[in-house]
Amino acid sequence: MTAPLRERRRQLLRDEIVSAAQMLLAEKGPKSMSMDDLAAHVGVSKPTLYSYFGTKDEIVVAVAMRLIHPLLLVLEADLIDQTPLERLSVFLATAVQLQIDAGYFALQIWVPEVLTLLHTYRESAECLHRIDNAVVRLVQAAFDQGEIDSDLDRATVVRSLYALVHSMHLAPHSQSGLPDPATTAATLARIFMYGVRRKG
């Protein structure tokens, strides 16, 4: 059954607010983006904006959830044709590509202040917990199946994966220039797989 026109319009405006917030957060970061900026960018009054989101934190969480949901789909898909290490590689490539598609300076989910905020909201905290559980299970399965070098420490492998997910935000002004958006996700996935894979 189709939602009533009023509900559809409300959802469209909510989506427009989140899209505008995603762009402003990429430009300014969570601390510098203001509700005034966002309302002006969307072309609504501040009271209208507050009728959708009670606080700026709620908007930051909504933007983060746009990046989190596709990652959950990748991790929780029933893919029997992929090994655990291949699934971790796909997760990494997807996470990096989402950031590239949103702009190199997209909202950084894994930085401490954003993670702390996400853990204060039940839905986002549960999603982050599901992501971590799935990653840890896949890493353990890759160890169990002999895909990952048994000399490596499981916790370090997990953190290395998260570090590569976050690597797009490191050294943005390096003399090397910006990575090629067409190949970055695949390159980082290869680096992870070759780095942890059992040799021989």
Question: If pLDDT is split at 50, 70 and 90, which confidence band does 1 have?
Answer: low
d(CA 188, CA 200): 22
Between 56-76 and 84-102, two packed helices, what is the crossing angle to 10 degrees?
150
Residue 62 is predicted with a pLDDT of 94
Average pLDDT over residues 57-85: 90
Residue 132 is predicted with a pLDDT of 95
Is residue 158 within 8 A of residue 135, CB to CB? The reply is: yes
Residue 44 is predicted with a pLDDT of 94
State which fold the 64-196 domain adopts. Answer: Tetracycline Repressor; domain 2 (1.10.357)
Higher pLDDT, 107 or 149: 149
Residue 101 is predicted with a pLDDT of 83
CA distances, 131 to each of 51, 57, 68 (Å): 31, 21, 8
- For the segment 11-29, what is each residue's pLDDT rounded down to a tens digit? 999 999 999 998 888 788 8
- For the segment 109-142, what is each residue's pLDDT rounded down to a tens digit? 767 788 899 999 999 999 999 999 999 999 999 9
Average pLDDT over residues 33-61: 93
d(CA 73, CA 68): 9
End-to-end CA distance of the chain: 57
CA distances, 93 to each of 31, 42, 167 (Å): 28, 31, 12
Domains in the chain: boundaries: 1-54, 64-196
State which fold the 1-54 domain adopts. Answer: Arc Repressor Mutant, subunit A (1.10.10)
- For the segment 140-197, what is each residue's pLDDT rounded down to a tens digit? 999 999 999 999 999 999 999 999 998 877 766 788 888 888 999 999 999 999 999 9
Please say if the pLDDT value at position 104 is more than 60. no
Please say if the pLDDT value at position 83 is more than 60. yes
Reading the block at residue 70, the tokens are 């596709």
